[in-house]
Structure 1
Amino acid sequence: MESNDGEDHSQKLLLAQTHIWNHFFSFINSMSLKCAIELNILDVVHNYGQPMPLSELIASLPIQPSKAAFVPRLMRILTLSGFFSNQNDDDQQEESNKSPLEMEHGRAFWEFASHDQKLGNSFHEAMTSDSRLIASVVIEKCKDTFEGLESLVDVGGGNGTMAKAIAKSFPNVECIVFDLPHVVAGFQGSSDNKNMKYVGGDMFEAIPSADSVLLKCILHNWSDEDCVKLLKKCKEAIMKKGKKGKVIIIDMVVGNENGDNGSLETQLYYDMAMMAFVTGKERTEKEWAKLFFSSGFSNYKIIPILMSSRSLIEVYP
């Protein structure tokens, strides 16, 4: 009974988090509508007189080719808001190499965060808070994912909140928190867990060898091209010792059939935020599968953590 009570409590916390996210991101609805009006999208579609192919809509808009990839994602949020209906679930267009933030200011979000201490601290605090909540749910609902592992690398693990929870719950798993050298510099040698350590490096260059690699809310920050590069490094890491381990991803799966409209709203809000600030996006199962197979993996399994607001994905070589 205690386990059920704890699980119910965690579920309620995640539902509360989704509720807060939706209120926090609600400005995206009005800003998306403002953008549609400024681009004259509503009149263009209305004057077409029949369902308009996305490719024709994009060609009709006064935008630079480099920004064409953003239109399908804008239309998706406008459709969820009820301003349009979609009669054909087309694949998204090719990606842009730069985010709107970088196009406007000449610097990527990560550069802003590394040079602006207040922004950087706020970002890391938010990630720490999220990891604290997600860790409790993942360990409760996905124990089988970690049982039997000998080692795990938490890529982009920051101060180690997620890895600490795993190391404590699974003392036989050697955990490595892997992040940029300046991020882990203050934590190296400070862990209270004997089965945990911090290592600095560049995830796009090489990842420490382990049975498993954890990517919590990492891949949604990056383009498909960068994700494939990173996943290939992950595959190298879990096969260095001649074993076939697994990659563990905690991220959103857009349109997961177990989700509700509130969760889909959260996903698309987050997708617009990823579009505006970084080069990443929230992905459907089809888009996730394309990444995995393009990176040389053979199979995957999706485990919803709470409806469709967050999922755990196991990926196998």
Structure 2
Amino acid sequence: MAIPTGEQSVELLQAQAKFWNHKINVIYIASFKCVTELGIPDIIHKHGKPMTLQQLADALSISKAKVHGSSSRKKFPRMTQIWGIGLHQLLVSSSKTRQPIEHVIEGLEGSKNLTYIKGNMFESIPQADAIMLKWILHDWSDEKCVKILKKCKEAIPSKENGGKVIIIDMIIRNNKEDHQHTETQLFSDLLMMVLFNGKERSEKEWEKLFFDAGYRGYKIAYELGLRSLVKLYTTTKVGFYCMKRAFMACR
């Protein structure tokens, strides 16, 4: 099957975004159900004016540890888990080494250019020229993400020697003109909060993670539909920098 290019790629990404929107739209219904059961409309009406997330949490007597929010978006307090899915972790190097959780690779055999390694990404990551984290970091808290990124940093050479970390994940509002696009990202944000205590992040939130983990620069390619591609570097000739690319892949 030929690899789609140009307009075909754009159409496929748009279709994928619509599919995901319908797939996780149940979050919209579940949120209203939670709001009603918690009596939030009555609380806000009694308050007599708009409430901050923290004021609402205080009125509901909910632990601060279960309240998520930022200056760019607000969320409902975390509810009980609705459903669970399997979590897998995949790291890829130039030699195509994979490091998933142990039971995932049970009984699997590698090949000439593919090696499976048991491991824990919070403890160590195999040395590699490049490490890919696809749909990984949005499952984890900021603290855990920084730990993962630090382990990646230890495993790659400097930028001058070809070292890089590649991240494929959502960046909230990477397409501000498409309402459904942003809505789907926010649905996913709520889903990550409920299932894993994770979250989708804005560019500023991602940048803080990169800085806290000790990286010196990054490049972003936004043209992956709901997702974006980010390349991290450990060293540069200048200070911390960001370069946004207006094409599919960062070179």
User: Which range, TM-score by smaller chain?
Assistant: 0.7 to 0.9
SS at match of 1:29: helix
**Aligned residue runs from structure 1 range 178-189, under 5 A:** 178-189=99-110
Residues 158 and 233 in structure 2, CA contact (< 8 A), matched pair in contact too? no
Across the aligned residues of Structure 1 and Structure 2, the Cα RMSD in angstroms comes to 3.2
2:50 alignment partner in structure 1: 51
SS at match of 1:314: strand
What is the alpha-carbon distance in structure 2 between the residues aligned to residue 44 and residue 223 of structure 1? 29
Out of 112, 122, 125, the residue aligned to residue 204 of structure 1 is: 122
**Aligned residue runs from structure 1 range 215-234, under 5 A:** 215-234=133-152
> CA offset at residue 51 of structure 1?
3.1
Out of 230, 233, 248, the residue aligned to residue 313 of structure 1 is: 230
SS at match of 1:311: strand
2:187 alignment partner in structure 1: 269
* Structure 1 residue 32 corresponds to structure 2 residue 31: yes
Instruction: Give the fraction of aligned pairs with identical amino acids, expressed as a percent.
Output: 44
- Unpaired runs of at least 5, structure 2: 235-251
What is the alpha-carbon distance in structure 2 between the residues aligned to residue 259 and residue 302 of structure 1? 18
Q: Is the alpha carbon distance of 1:259 and 1:219 closer, same or farther for their aligned partners in structure 2, counting shifts above 3 Å?
A: farther
> CA offset at residue 25 of structure 1?
1.5
2:237 alignment partner in structure 1: none
Residues 39 and 62 in structure 1, CA contact (< 8 A), matched pair in contact too? no
Residues 185 and 200 in structure 1, CA contact (< 8 A), matched pair in contact too? no
1:176 alignment partner in structure 2: 97
> CA offset at residue 36 of structure 1?
1.3
Residues 213 and 234 in structure 1, CA contact (< 8 A), matched pair in contact too? yes
What is the alpha-carbon distance in structure 1 between the residues aligned to residue 62 and residue 49 of structure 2? 23
> CA offset at residue 91 of structure 1?
7.1
SS at match of 2:219: strand
Q: Is the alpha carbon distance of 1:188 and 1:283 closer, same or farther for their aligned partners in structure 2, counting shifts above 3 Å?
A: same
What is the alpha-carbon distance in structure 1 between the residues aligned to residue 73 and residue 27 of structure 2? 22
What is the alpha-carbon distance in structure 2 between the residues aligned to residue 6 and residue 48 of structure 1? 54
Residues 175 and 182 in structure 2, CA contact (< 8 A), matched pair in contact too? no
Aligned residues: 232
What is the alpha-carbon distance in structure 1 between the residues aligned to residue 109 and residue 159 of structure 2? 25
SS at match of 1:214: strand
SS at match of 2:188: helix
- Encode CA deviations 1:70-116: one digit per residue, 9 max, x unaligned: 4x48xxxxxxxxxxxxxxx45779x98xx843xx99xxx5xxxxxxx
- Encode CA deviations 1:115-149: one digit per residue, 9 max, x unaligned: xxxx65xx77xxxxxxxxxxxxxxxxxxxxxxxxx
| Higher helix content, 1 or 2 | 1
1:13 alignment partner in structure 2: 12
Which letter maps to 2:90? G
Q: Is the alpha carbon distance of 1:297 and 1:55 closer, same or farther for their aligned partners in structure 2, counting shifts above 3 Å?
A: same
- Encode CA deviations 1:173-221: one digit per residue, 9 max, x unaligned: 42212212332243332x3xx4332222111111111111100000011
- Unpaired runs of at least 5, structure 1: 74-88, 110-118, 125-155, 168-172
Q: Is the alpha carbon distance of 1:266 and 1:7 closer, same or farther for their aligned partners in structure 2, counting shifts above 3 Å?
A: same
* Structure 1 residue 237 corresponds to structure 2 residue 155: yes
What is the alpha-carbon distance in structure 2 between the residues aligned to residue 241 and residue 291 of structure 1? 19
SS at match of 1:201: coil
SS at match of 1:283: coil
Residues 57 and 63 in structure 2, CA contact (< 8 A), matched pair in contact too? no
What is the alpha-carbon distance in structure 1 between the residues aligned to residue 108 and residue 96 of structure 2? 14
Residues 133 and 168 in structure 2, CA contact (< 8 A), matched pair in contact too? yes
1:114 alignment partner in structure 2: none
1:281 alignment partner in structure 2: 199
SS at match of 2:116: strand
Which letter maps to 2:57? I
